[in-house]
Amino acid sequence: MTILEVKSLKKIYKTRFRGNQVEALSNISFSVDQGEFIAIMGESGSGKTTLLNIMASLDSPSEGSVLLNGKSYADIREDELSSFRRDNLGFVFQDFNLLDNLNIKDNILLPLVLSNCSRKVMKERLFPLVRKLGIENLMRKFPYEVSGGQKQRTAVARSLITSPSLILADEPTGALDSHSSEELLKLFSELNREGQTIMMVTHSVQAAGCANRVLFIKDGKIICEVSKHSPNEDITQKIFSVLSAISTARETS
Amino acid sequence: MNKQLYRKLALTNLKKNASMMLPYLITCIIVVSFYYIVSSLSMNTQLKTVSSGNFIVDVMKFGSLLFAALSVLFLLYTNSFIMKRRKKELGLYHILGLEKKHIRKVLTWESAITSFCSIASGLIIGVVANQFVTAILSKMIGTKLPFSGAISGPAVVKTIITFVIIFLLSFLYNLRQIHVANPVELLKGGQLGEKEPKAKGLLAGLGLGLLLCGYTLSFLVNNPEKDSNMMLGAVVCVLVATYLLFIAVSIQVLKLLQQNEHFYYKSKNFTLISGMLYRMKQNALGLSNICILSTATLLIMTTTVSLYFGINNTVANELDHDISINAPVADKDKVSKLFKSIDKNINKHSLKRKNVLKYTGGKFAEDLDADGKFEMFFLMRLKEYNHLTRQNMSLSKDEVLIFSEDPTKHSDTLTLGKKKLSVKEYLKKFPIKNNSAGIYGQKWLYIVSPKDGLLADKLSRESNLYYEFDLTGKDQDKSNFSYAISKEAERLGIQFESRSGYHDDLMVRFGGLLFLGMLISIILFMETALSIFYKQISEGYDDQTRFKILKKIGMSQKEIRNTIRRQILIVFFSPLVIALLHLCVALPLVMKLMKIAFMDSWAVTLGSSAVSATVFILIYGAVFLLTERTYRKIVAPSKQ
């Protein structure tokens, strides 16, 4: 079943002077099926963050459309967009984006509080989740009191608490040490095995290797795609060769 | 690097930080211009020629001192705020390769430019405004001033010297900031993780206790002149309580709200309370300062306005009749000359006399109840009393009639040395009123003694003639008449008091006070508004990341806007609410204080405080709107 559909997406930025146009995304189309774990790879400036922002409904495309569960973002009213985002999408960021003035528990509960859920629902969802993520002992701590890995687990818990259809992760391992990165990726794979759809933007080959499908993006276009044929296949080698092919292409051009 | 570069850098910096610098500069300019106006008045030699002008000169001298002190406090405070915001920028220069001495040069240029601009424009505005202000002052004190507010050299020099020193101080502070900081710290600026504030139950309890204590004390003050210690105690209690209120009670309340899960885990309360907890921790001190300043401003406004508008009440309280004359009986010739002149002038100004009272008597002090303390009493002969009251009472040699202003004192005998006098009757009323007592002053006794009585020989040694009456006619005529007679009485050396003369005198005094009170209120208000503005703006930068995250997590623009509005509303208006509460509670005490100045009309005081509070709230509200807009621009810029 298709969860997310991206149809011929285009994003054009106008520079402030002279009205020069910069095409950040040109004609991007792909779709994400239920239960997929997709990684998007690309160099800085390739347009992957723009793509993620549009998929997150934080930014709107110049042309084309994004459909989540068959519903187009363009059809959602501006004032409903944030609650739509809250209920259907979960976010994990490179710099965690936890609120310093809330403890770990309140940080995780934030999306539910914003949706005005009842205390009963909050409790029912919180405890199994934090136990699964191994952060049940940190509930009363504040973000500055825990490690980077723990912060990112908190962020993952926050993204999962609304049971979203899709998790969008922007360089989730970018600020973590190798051990924590490995743990987080393991967690992502596990969540994915349980049926969670994940979409991740990353630089790291190791991270991308965990995904079932990797999209390579350059100059605002998807230029190729690598996917696993069986769940346990190691595609790291394939990713490496695609990346080196892309960089050689740049050198020769 | 050449000089021009530093100057250019300084200029671009100022332009870039315009939104930050402008409110500061405007305040500087206004403070400078007010300081100039007050100084030029205090140094004006012609002002001393106006009757009671000396009083105004003293008031203005006090004012200029106060302004200088307030300026030091506030301009330094605001400057430190701006500096904190600019640390990052200066850190960047450092990284780019400017040495500390280069940054120092840039800062020197900046300070020189801003100081020059604010002093120069402040002086220009002050000099121009001085003419209007002099006209306003003249209107307020109801007297033509013998000068028009022309430029005053000494005041200009004094203003320049004072503010050069103040700006130099803030410049030195800035240099010190550069000196102690290392570039990495500068780059980080104010962004360091902060711990959650701890609950302070004990302090909160103490704060509430002190507040209650202070309020109770203020109610208990009966006579401000006698109970000055109690009054001071009340002020200190409320002062300390205000600090504790913001430092401890606020956090305690927020913590309690946070513990109430059903309340806390609601969308509209969650971000607000968690945000407020941090705000209060950082800002408790600033908010209490703002609260205390607001209270001071409100009290100054209330007292000066009610003194000014209560002048008629004061005059009526202090003087029983339009005209009162008193002279030793021995000066008969002078008195008859004055009486002739009164008769002549009454006709000339087409006025009529009424309620005429003419009597002789004397004021004495003697220990009459053998308690070691002197009683003040007014002594009058029986014949005089019978004449005034159209009665025919008789008294034997050791008997007296007494009217007491203090109804609690009641004894049947009086002692005079070793002799005893018996009180024949305590009178219910007395035909004359002695005004030297005052509203709080000594309670007087009025004693009537027969001609051969034991007290009567005092009167044969020293007695005064009193002549009091009211006038009917036009106010202007009354005033002209009073002025003519007062000149005559002065020439003859006779004590003379008139309501219209006293009224004019008070107009000058209280008008001068009101004038200064208004200037002080404006300055205090501006500085309060300025510090709360900067406080909010710098919080805005701290909150920027917080709201960015909230937006990503799924808080809508509208919800963010609501949260911001409520947060600013609370931070902004909590000091105001507490200040208004202080004002309300202080009102009874203010009225008692007003009584010292013979003003006892509660309607005037109540009205003045209502007007002051309304004006204050209106201006405060305007500052709120401006601040909220700027804050929102920083925290949640709307989409283009």
Q: Is the pLDDT of residue B198 over 80?
A: no
Q: What is the pLDDT of residues B28-53, one digit of tens each?
A: 998 899 999 989 888 888 887 877 77
CB contacts of A123 in chain B (<8 Å) are none
Q: Give the pLDDT score at B85.
A: 77
- Chain A partners of B555 at a C-beta cutoff of 8 Å? 82, 114
With beta carbons less than 8 A apart as the criterion, state whether B91 and B185 touch.
yes
Q: What is the pLDDT of residue B261?
A: 87
Mean pLDDT of each 10-residue bin along chain A, 253 residues long: 90 75 87 92 84 88 90 85 87 88 90 89 91 90 88 92 91 89 91 92 89 90 87 86 82 59
C-alpha distances out from residue B88 to A97, A151, A189, B93, B279, Å: 22, 27, 41, 9, 22
The per-residue b/e assignment along A125-161, b for 16 or more CB within 10 angstroms, e otherwise, is bbeebbebbebeebeeebbeebeebbbbbbbbbbbbb
Q: How far apart are CA B200 and CA B212, in angstroms?
A: 18
DSSP label of B248: I
Taking CB atoms and an 8 Å limit, are A79 and B558 in contact across chains?
yes
Gap between the Cα atoms of B596 and B14, Å rounded: 52
Pairwise CA distance, residues A112 & B550, whole Å = 13
Alpha carbon of A53: minimum distance to chain B alpha carbons (Å): 10
- H runs (alpha helix) in B245-310: 250-259, 261-264, 267-309
Tell me whether residues A85 and B549 touch, CB distance under 8 A.
Answer: no
If contacts are CB pairs under 8 Å, which of residues 133-192 in chain A contact chain B? 142, 144, 158
On the 0-12 / 13-18 / 19+ scale of CB atoms within 10 A, B227 is middle
Q: Sort out which chain B residues have CB atoms less than 8 A from A158's CB and list them.
A: 553
Question: What is the domain partition of chain B in residue ranges?
Answer: 1-191, 326-498
Residue B461 pLDDT exceeds 80: no
Q: Which residue has the higher pLDDT, B81 or B242?
A: B242
Residues B549, A98: C-beta atoms closer than 8 Å: yes
Q: Do A82 and B261 touch (CB under 8 A)?
A: no
Provide the pLDDT for residue A159: 92
Mean of the pLDDT values across residues B132-138?
87
**Up-side HSE of residue B154: CA atoms within 13 Å toward CB?**
8
The DSSP call for residue B245 is I
Residue range B54-109, pLDDT digits in tens: 888 888 888 888 888 888 888 888 888 888 778 777 777 777 777 778 888 888 98
Among B194, B553, B559, the residue with its CB nearest the CB of A111 is B553
Helix (H) or strand (E) holding A89: strand A89-92
Structure tokens at B353: 């006399």
| Over residues B623-640, mean pLDDT | 77
What are the chain A neighbours of B274 within 8 Å (beta carbons)?
99, 101-102, 106
- Contact across the interface for B265 and A82, Cβ inside 8 Å: no
Cβ-nearest to B553 among A79, A91, A144: A91
Q: Which pLDDT score is estimated for A22?
A: 82
Task: Give the residue from A91, A93, A113, A165 with the most B CB atoms within 10 Å of its CB, the best one to mutate.
Answer: A113
Which of B258, B549, B550, B557 is best to mutate for the A interface (most A CBs within 10 A)? Answer: B549
**A83, B550: Cβ pair inside 8 Å?**
no
B581: pLDDT strictly greater than 90? yes
Output the pLDDT for position B190. 47
- Chain A (86-115) residues lying within 8 Å, Cβ to Cβ, of chain B: 86-87, 91, 93, 97-103, 106, 109-111, 113-115
What is the separation, in whole angstroms, between the first and last Cα of chain B?
Answer: 40
The helix (run of H) or strand (run of E) holding residue A221 is: strand A221-227
Contacts of A83 in chain B (CB under 8 A): 554, 556
B321-371 tens-digit pLDDT: 888 888 888 788 888 888 888 888 888 888 888 888 888 888 877 777 777
DSSP B142: T
- What confidence category does residue B630 fall into, taking pLDDT thresholds of 50, 70 and 90? confident
pLDDT tens for residues B507-527? 888 988 898 888 888 888 887
Cβ contacts (< 8 Å) between A163 and chain B: which residues? none
Residue of B nearest to A77 (CA): B556
CB contact under 8 A, A114 and B559: yes
Asked whether the beta carbons of residue A110 and residue B194 sit closer than 8 angstroms, the reply is no
Distance from CA of A166 to the nearest CA of B (A): 14
Nearest by CB to A144, from B193, B261, B270: name it.
B193
- Is the pLDDT confidence value at B640 over 50? no
CA distance B159 to B170: 17
Instruction: Judge: B555–A91 Cβ closer than 8 Å, yes or no.
Output: no
The listed CATH number (3.40.50.300, 3.30.70.20, 3.10.20.30, 3.50.50.60) that belongs to domain A2-252: 3.40.50.300
Angle, helix B100-141 to helix B53-95, in steps of 10 degrees: 160
Distance (Å, whole) CA B53 – CA A92? 74
Asked whether the beta carbons of B83 and B173 are under 8 A apart, the reply is: yes
**Distance from C-alpha of B358 to C-alpha of B339, rounded to nearest angstrom:** 12
**Cβ contacts of B618 within 8 Å, gap of 6 or more:** none
Q: SS3 of B350, please?
A: coil
Q: Domain residues of chain A, as ranges? A: 2-252
Tokens of B481: 């008449």
Chain B nearest-CA distance from A118, in A, is 8
Read off the pTM.
0.79
Tell me the C-alpha distance between B475 and B481, whole Å: 10
Handedness of CA B366, B370, B375, B378 (dihedral sign): negative
Task: Kindly state the percentage of chain B with pLDDT values over 90.
Answer: 17
Residue B379 has pLDDT above 70, yes or no: yes
- What phi, psi does B353 have (nearest 5°)? -90, 145
- Indicate if the alpha-carbon torsion angle B566, B570, B573, B577 is positive or negative: positive
Cβ neighbour number for residue A22 with a 10 Å cutoff? 10
User: pLDDT-based confidence at B405, cuts 50/70/90?
Assistant: confident
